[in-house]
Amino acid sequence: MTRRLAVREESWPLAAVFAISRGAKTAAQVIVAEISDGRATGRGEAVPYARYGQTPAGEIAAIEALRPDLEAGLDRRGLQNRLPAGAARNALDCALWDLEAKVAGVPAWALAGRRRLDPVKTCLTLSLDTPEKMAEAARAAARRPMLKLKIGGADDLDRVIAVREAAPRTRLIVDANEALDFEALRRLAPELARLEVKMIEQPLPAQADEALEGYESPVLLCADESLHTRADLSRCVRRYGAVNIKLDKTGGLTEALALAAEARAVGLQIMAGCMVATSLAMAPTMILAQGAEVVDLDGPLLLARDREPGLTYQGSLILPPPPELWG
């Protein structure tokens, strides 16, 4: 049966400016791939990320270059060697998972070998801002079980202290997005431990994180920008105790599940993460998030509006996706 491919860029306004150490944005720019076979349509959403040299136009061009093969029946297993890990492959991989599930009449989680798909609790991310503004945001979210703070400046310790005072019972993790150097980390980590921060995500630049080898951090360190696929695990296991797995980095759910299995086998904790995007991008990661120590799938909570139907968020609890959305 002949397939048809459609791919487009979409822009989703954010509810507020979202800032991290390397910049700020007011909208989520995503690409959406749709693959139809006459019986069903599979969809996948991805976020091209400038940090990795990606643009929406470039990722769409990479998808279009595969149009003849995709429309001739290229499956997600064959896809793995046709595109590098990244947004383009993620959009297609997730669309093929969705199509396969719909054609087979079984949930995607069953195709992935899961017995069921349970709700998960996500952390909520606080955008990088002044200590006062971050404390205000934390106070409004103090009943949530976990908050993730973006850091990356001279006032980092003040930020964390302010948030801890505003949300004294909430579990805290911090994300530096590569903004620290090793000496800054060594100074900051004991203070974060005193404030009961549970995790520091990507403290150093990915190209400089060899400094972490042999360092006994008082707070669990988690790789993000340093980890994309299984090829990065041998380095990360010597430098981190946890890894943030995002489908936009792995190039889809197929590699993400394989990466999670190998990461667990070498003793690393799993964080199931996301870029800022709609529920369509979060839905496949719900499979990855089963049993993860940390879940960070709050992208839709940062948008002015989500696509419909979307995921159901009950506070921090995310319910499994409806089949009309994905899978």
pLDDT of 103-148, one tens digit each? 999 999 999 999 999 999 999 999 999 999 999 999 999 999 999 9
Position 1 pLDDT exceeds 70 = no
121 flagged as catalytic: no
What range does the domain containing 194 cover?
A: 120-318
Whether pLDDT at 277 is above 80: yes
In a domain, 113, yes or no: no
Identify whether 115 is part of a domain: no
Of the candidates 105, 128, 147, which is a domain's last residue? 105
Please tell me which residue in 102, 148, 246, 249 is annotated as part of the active site. Answer: 246
Predicted confidence (pLDDT) at residue 57 exceeds the cutoff of 90:
yes
Q: Using alpha carbons, list the distances in angstroms from residue 142 to 14, 90, 121, 163.
A: 22, 34, 15, 9
* Whether 202 and 294 share a structural domain: yes
Q: Is there a catalytic annotation at residue 150?
A: yes
3-state SS string for 52-87: HCCCHHHHHHHHHHCHHHHHCCCCHHHHCCCCCCCH
Q: What is the CATH number of the domain that holds 177?
A: 3.20.20.120
Could you tell me if residue 84 is inside a domain?
yes
Q: 276 and 237, same structural domain?
A: yes
User: 155 and 208 share a domain?
Assistant: yes
Determine the pLDDT at residue 23.
Answer: 86
Question: Residue 215: what pLDDT?
Answer: 97
Helix (H, G, I), strand (E, B) or coil at 27: strand
Give yes or no for residue 28 having a pLDDT over 90.
yes
The CATH number covering residue 54 comes to: 3.30.390.10
Q: Residue 190's pLDDT band (boundaries 50, 70, 90)? A: very high
Task: In whole angstroms, give the CA distance from residue 295 to residue 41.
Answer: 28
Please state at what angle helix 156-166 crosses helix 182-194, rounded to 10 degrees: 20
Are 37 and 186 in a shared domain?
Answer: no
- Residue 211 in domain: yes
Q: Give the residue-averaged pLDDT of 1-17.
A: 94
User: Per the domain annotation, does 206 fall within a domain?
Assistant: yes
The average confidence (pLDDT) of the chain is 97
Q: Which of 133, 190, 120, 203 is nearest to 163 (CA)?
A: 133
Same domain, 146 and 283: yes
pLDDT at position 21? 84
Residue 150 and residue 269 in one domain: yes
Same domain, 90 and 147: no
Q: Which listed residue (25, 121, 133, 150) is catalytic?
A: 150
User: Are both 29 and 169 inside the same structural domain?
Assistant: no
Flag the least confident range among 48-52, 292-296, 314-318: 48-52
The pLDDT score that the predictor gives to residue 180 is: 96
| Residue bearing tokens 């599979």 | 42
Amino acid letter, residue 77? R
In which residue are the tokens 């492959």 written? 89
- The number of domains in the chain is 2
The answer to whether 242 touches 267, Cβ cutoff 8 Å, is: no
